[in-house]
Amino acid sequence: MCDSAPVSTDRYQYPYPSATTAVEHPFDGLDFERRPLNEMRSRSQEFFDLMDRRRSVRMLSDEPVPIELIEAAVRTASTAPSGAHQQPWQFVAISDPAIKREIRLAAEAEERVNYEENRMNESWQRELAPLGTDWHKEFLEISPWIVVLFEERYGIRDDRSKRTHYYVKESCGIAAGMFIAALHNMGLATLTHTPSPMAFLTRVLERGANERPFVLFPIGYPVDGCQVPRLQRKELDQILTVRSAPQSS
């Protein structure tokens, strides 16, 4: 429920939902907690500090991770906004060593062509050089979990007819971000991995024709002494443009 609403709806000429919609579809009061400004500041700083420590990890250990943590991250990811609330995503969580091995071998076969046979052009390879990545993907076999996020290009109704999905990539991108944040928040590490082309994942994981691999996440704990590339993130003034009303003097 909205707590004592500090802002009225008076300015709205067309309140949402419209009277017509409200009789045709169910609506609920928003569950929203209004917080004091100082609490908002400290929470925003704490969340930034937490997220600023997230790094992509390419040396994951084989230490087991309980499935309930993977489930919790998927549940969080699925709270993401999505076009027309279609939630056009499917997550496949794999701990079976035989399947992880199959994925590793197939990913390495594709990545070997990317790196060694120049399917990635020179400029791309130059951009990747500071990351030190190559075609070896041992972490796909060593990490306790691989989660593959598939985008549902279209839905399939009970009568087998196709249901068009809208903004599939945008929706899956947001869900992926929330999945990564959930893992990081609970103390797990992952890598956003796209061993492209990723069509082999549809075959290996026996997924339907309406699904396309979107991103693959090896998940676990970093090995002791794990190293990450020294990266700098863009400063706020490089990524934010603010357009406020001019100050009146």
Ligand X SMILES: Cc1cc2nc3c(=O)[nH]c(=O)nc-3n(C[C@H](O)[C@H](O)[C@H](O)COP(=O)(O)O)c2cc1C
**Shortest distance (Å) from residue 60 CB to ligand X:** 12
Query: With respect to ligand X, which residue has the nearer C-beta, 155 or 185?
Result: 185
Cα–Cα separations (whole angstroms), residue 189 to 10, 103, 132, 184: 47, 19, 18, 6
Question: In 3-state terms, what secondary structure has residue 156?
Answer: strand
Determine the distance from the C-alpha atom of residue 200 to the mean position of all C-alpha atoms in its chain, rounded to a whole number: 20
Residues that bind ligand X (CB under 6 A): 55-56, 58, 131, 133, 191-195, 228, 231
**Shortest distance (Å) from residue 15 CB to ligand X:** 39
Cα–Cα separations (whole angstroms), residue 83 to 22, 49, 60, 71, 167: 21, 30, 34, 23, 5
**Shortest distance (Å) from residue 234 CB to ligand X:** 11
**Shortest distance (Å) from residue 89 CB to ligand X:** 15
Query: With respect to ligand X, which residue has the nearer C-beta, 5 or 131?
Result: 131
Burial class (CB in 10 A: 0-12, 13-18, 19+), 21: exposed
Query: With respect to ligand X, which residue has the nearer C-beta, 17 or 212?
Result: 212
C-alpha span between 35 and 45 (Å, rounded) = 15
Give the CB-nearest residue to ligand X.
Answer: 56
Query: With respect to ligand X, which residue has the nearer C-beta, 155 or 192?
Result: 192
